[in-house]
Structure 1
Amino acid sequence: SKMFYGGVKPEMVSDKFSFTEGPSTDKEGNVYFTDQPNDKIYYWDWKTNKVIEFLNKTGRANGTHFDKDDFLITCSDDQGEIWKISKDKKVEVLFKGFEGKRLNGPNDVWNDSFGGMYFTDPLYERDYWVDFKQETP
């Protein structure tokens, strides 16, 4: 199977990141992604081929996905939270636990067209977690 359209080859847009994660596209086709160790979210503007910083201090966002209303949903694993971020950078913590227990480290997320959300919560202990104690098996 062919991964690219005829004659189109992958090209590096930037190499200034430490460790990129969680690419997802908004309704305009811009690709948002995290630079997890640096606690930032960027997006690639496909019209200008430029990478633009979207948000600093992201709760160590990892996986991302856009919901049906074009809000950016992030797995912000610093405190084990799921965030909802508007295009004007207003952050709402959707939830930070399950049945009163802290999530481990939300990692990847996907939203369906009905408003449902699916995410993973593996335990990959992070060296930046302070006083972490596993509460969710």
Structure 2
Amino acid sequence: MPDGNGGELYVESNSPNIEVCQSVWQTQTKNRNELWGVNAVRITVCAMLLIVGLSPMPVLSQDMALSGVLVDGEGWQLVSQGHKFTEGPAVDAQGRVYFTDVPESRIFRIELDGKVTLFDEKTANTNGLMFGPDGLLYGCRNGDKQIVAYTEKGEYTVVVEGVQSNDLVVAGNGSIWFTDPPGERVWHISGDASRTKKIVAEGIRPNGVILTPDQGTLVVTESQEPVLWTFRVERDGSLSHKDRYYGPVQLPSRADRPGSDGMTVDSIGRLYVATRAGLQMFDPTGRLGGAIAKPQAGSLSNVCFGGPNLDILYVTAGDKVYRRKVQATGVRYKKP
């Protein structure tokens, strides 16, 4: 049973899986759509309740539940604290995880033994991070309006400049997509030596961004709306077939915005989204499989898989970073 800091419980008739994650009992009926079926019931929870009298409903059962991800007896473990606002977790080839403290303009590295060391202390408010196939650490250096690439020694070069950025994803061919929330744009940077940049999506206020394991679909969060946008990735990096494949993202109690932020994906295509209601997991069909309770009150800002086997989830949450062992494994994007 959770401690009431976040998460939600979703119950569908005829489903053998019950996922527990939240406070205050409340039932709602959701109208028919292509993901939920008919009359799916949502229940938010924080105290014990005997559920009786739920009549059978013709709904789609969930393909993948959190029980296939979580490890019995494993909870969130505190890794680092005392920061202003943590963001941008990214894993290197060894399994070490890097993260940013945006207001303090610092990047830290979490060693495999859990020790936390300072990587860079003058980052110009760098936010999102991700390693590329070349072993470089790419970052959204928004204070200087740049996308940069760090070497292991902490030295960086400018990839492109003159852009606003929040989060980014790097494909196996070196292509980069990054989000620009104020400009309501998604940008693409070519993976070749020209590093040509272009706008590939407009009209949404994007935040987090990730690729599916096959690198054929780009997923974008929008913090103000319970929507995850998907796009088909074309060969030149442009985007097409905009759709709302995943969702809807669930809202925490007494809130009108989900606060969807950073994301990660596992090896079989499950999506993990950092939100105010917890770490929400969507299966490859786009349906919500459940929400992992938050380690503390407040919003989660981002998430990644780390460790030598990519089987440890790391989340950034306010002034802290947490991790927990899971059954799922993360993805390293390979060159097509």
Same fold (TM over 0.5): yes
Aligned counterparts of 1:66 and 1:13: Cα–Cα separation in 2 = 21
Count of matched residue pairs: 119
Partner SS state of residue 143, structure 2: coil
Which residue identity is paired with 1:72? L
Deviations 1:39-59, CA, capped at 9 Å, x for gaps: 00001112x211111111012
Q: State the structure with more CA Rg.
A: 2
Number of the residue aligned with 1:117: 176
Deviations 1:83-129, CA, capped at 9 Å, x for gaps: 100001121011113xxxxx2x31001001111111001229xxxxx
Number of the residue aligned with 2:155: 90
Written as runs of structure 1 = structure 2, the 5 A alignment for 1:38-49 is: 38-46=104-112, 48-49=113-114
Which protein has greater RCO, CA pairs closer than 8 Å, 6+ apart? 2
Partner SS state of residue 103, structure 2: helix
Written as runs of structure 1 = structure 2, the 5 A alignment for 1:12-27 is: 12-27=78-93
Number of the residue aligned with 1:128: none
Partner residue of 1:108 out of 146, 160, 167? 167
Structure 2: which 5+ residue stretches go unaligned?
Answer: 1-65, 184-198, 203-336
1:68 aligns with 2:133: yes
Q: Once the 2 structures are TM-superposed, how far is the Cα of residue 7 of structure 1 from its aligned partner?
A: 2.3
Which residue identity is paired with 1:91? Y
Partner SS state of residue 78, structure 1: helix
Aligned counterparts of 1:31 and 1:72: Cα–Cα separation in 2 = 11
Aligned counterparts of 2:135 and 2:71: Cα–Cα separation in 1 = 27
TM-score, reference length from structure 1: 0.80
1:6 aligns with 2:72: yes
TM-score, reference length from structure 2: 0.34
Number of the residue aligned with 2:117: 52
Q: Once the 2 structures are TM-superposed, how far is the Cα of residue 69 of structure 1 from its aligned partner?
A: 1.3
- Which of structure 1's runs of 4+ aligned residues deviate more than 6 A? none
Aligned counterparts of 2:117 and 2:76: Cα–Cα separation in 1 = 20
Aligned counterparts of 2:147 and 2:70: Cα–Cα separation in 1 = 33
Structure 1: which 5+ residue stretches go unaligned?
Answer: 98-102, 125-135
Aligned counterparts of 1:92 and 1:5: Cα–Cα separation in 2 = 40
Greater mean deviation of Cα atoms: 28-37 or 9-18: 9-18
Which residue identity is paired with 1:83? V
Which residue identity is paired with 2:179? T
